[in-house]
Amino acid sequence: MTRVYITSLFISIGCVFLHAQTTTKPTDSLIAAQQINGYQRILNNLSGIPQGVTIGGYGEVLYNQPTNLNGELDVQRLVMLFGYKFDDRVQFVTEIEFEHVKEVYVEQAFVNYSVANGLNIRAGLMLVPMGIVAEFHEPTTFNGVERPSMDKYIVPTTWREIGIGVAGRVDALSLRYQAYLFNGFLSHDGEEGRLKGSSGLRGGRQKGAESVVDQFNLSAKLDYYGIPNLRLGLAGYAGRTQAVDGQNQIPGSDIGVAMLGLDVRFKWQNLSARGQFVHANLTDADAYNTLTGRDLGSELGGFYVETAYNLLPIVNRQRLDAFVRYESYDTHKSVGSSIARNAAFDREEWTLGLSYHMSVGTVFKVDYQSKRTAVADSQYGQFNVGVGVWF
């Protein structure tokens, strides 16, 4: 099956390459319609210089106060983005992240080679394109002090692995495309299973740190921006998880992963809305649970819908977005015969709040969340405040 995916990938690459030869440089309106994230902004900045360095960054400081626990103050993340342009065809982008003051990660580090207008080859540590927040997670690009929870437990953001692939635009079709071969999740590290029912695949992210690989997985996404004020995304991921040497010979050490994501973003005058759906099928989960004693589900998925309205006049430099978001996600959407379904993993959240954009690149956020599971009397609330920057 993986061979079929890879063959289809390279056939698609060839078709896109032929079409890309005739595409033109995007206009400002096209760039605005697509919406950009941190690494895209770095690449855009590099396009305006003959050679050299550009920098950027984002960060957020948060206060979380659950109704049933102590509150927490945290410099949740401080990120520096660097880009270097070697010549008109070759650029390098990296993202260094400091989390909770004391943890340091390399979130991205890839070379971008511009083969032709609309076609780039990328290799290195890159974001896996699935959903919205996986790629657009700078604090001024989403409402809510915290990122949507289903992006943490289902996608799982921030998901990045080492790989190679192609990316670009076909402006005549109003399409942005990405297709990569990545290493997979690490399901067994030789001592224990890394995947479990409460957090799904999240514990298996390898993040480019001495990553184990015995086969490559396919990740691809298409974004359509041909309808004014609207952007539609379709993403897919297919392959198998990895296990360390020796362990990978034991049946049940790895599982198959097939994930589908749909997302939509809309903005018209003071009104904006977004939604996302992600579903994953996990094969051989029963054998994995029997071997490891874990409780991984065979299906996980969820969705959210959100709407927001800018309370200030549209001509103002500042914005005050009032928003509401509903999320429903379940990491035990379906289970095999070896375990029982856990109702605590079927979760639901409402988030209601304000995002005050003091300027382009700065935001002050406040919201209240109501959270519950399918277990009786499990509801609790959480008050959040945060300040974020992106430049």
Is residue 156 within 8 A of residue 298, CB to CB? The reply is no
Using CB atoms within 10 Å of the CB of residue 361, give its burial: 0 to 12 exposed, 13 to 18 middle, 19+ buried. Answer: middle
Distance (Å, whole) CA 244 – CA 31: 43
Q: Tell me how many degrees the CA angle 139-361-45 measures, rounded to the nearest 5.
A: 105
Q: What is the pLDDT along the chain (391 residues), one digit of tens a residue?
A: 444 434 444 344 344 333 433 333 333 333 344 478 999 999 999 999 999 999 999 999 999 999 989 999 999 999 999 999 999 999 999 999 999 999 999 999 999 999 999 999 999 999 999 999 999 999 999 999 999 999 999 999 999 999 999 999 999 999 999 999 999 999 999 999 999 999 999 999 999 999 999 999 999 999 999 999 999 999 999 999 999 999 999 999 999 999 999 999 999 999 999 999 999 999 999 999 999 999 999 999 999 999 999 999 999 999 999 999 999 999 999 999 999 999 999 999 999 999 999 999 999 999 999 999 999 999 999 999 999 999 9
Structural domains for the chain: 2-390 (2.40.160.10)
Is residue 268 within 8 A of residue 230, CB to CB? The reply is no
Identify the three-state secondary structure at position 15: helix
Given this model, what pLDDT does residue 68 score? 87
For residue 324, CA distances in Å to 152, 264, 275, 311, 328 come to 19, 16, 12, 14, 14
Is residue 299 within 8 A of residue 333, CB to CB? The reply is yes
Residue 351's CB: how many other CB atoms inside 10 A?
Answer: 24
For residue 260, CA distances in Å to 22, 128, 129, 209, 276 come to 31, 13, 11, 26, 11
Given this model, what pLDDT does residue 354 score? 98
Residue type, 96: I
Of 273, 276, 265, the C-alpha closest to 327 is 276
Given this model, what pLDDT does residue 6 score? 40
In terms of DSSP bridges, do strands 271-283 and 256-268 run parallel, antiparallel, or are they unpaired?
Answer: antiparallel
Of 30, 40, 37, 36, the C-alpha closest to 227 is 30
Distance (Å, whole) CA 68 – CA 45: 46
Peptide bond between residue 156 and the one before it cis (omega within 30 degrees of 0): yes
Using CB atoms within 10 Å of the CB of residue 13, give its burial: 0 to 12 exposed, 13 to 18 middle, 19+ buried. Answer: middle
Given this model, what pLDDT does residue 5 score? 38
Distance (Å, whole) CA 18 – CA 154: 36
Distance (Å, whole) CA 158 – CA 58: 15
Q: Where are the alpha helices (DSSP H) in 48-157?
A: 149-153
Distance (Å, whole) CA 340 – CA 134: 30
Distance (Å, whole) CA 108 – CA 113: 16
Which residues neighbour 129 within 8 Å (Cβ) at sequence distance 6 or greater? 135, 178, 180, 219, 220, 221, 235
Distance (Å, whole) CA 338 – CA 282: 14
Given this model, what pLDDT does residue 126 score? 98
Is residue 219 within 8 A of residue 122, CB to CB? The reply is no
Given this model, what pLDDT does residue 20 score? 37
Q: Hunting for tokens 């890159």 — which residue is that?
A: 126
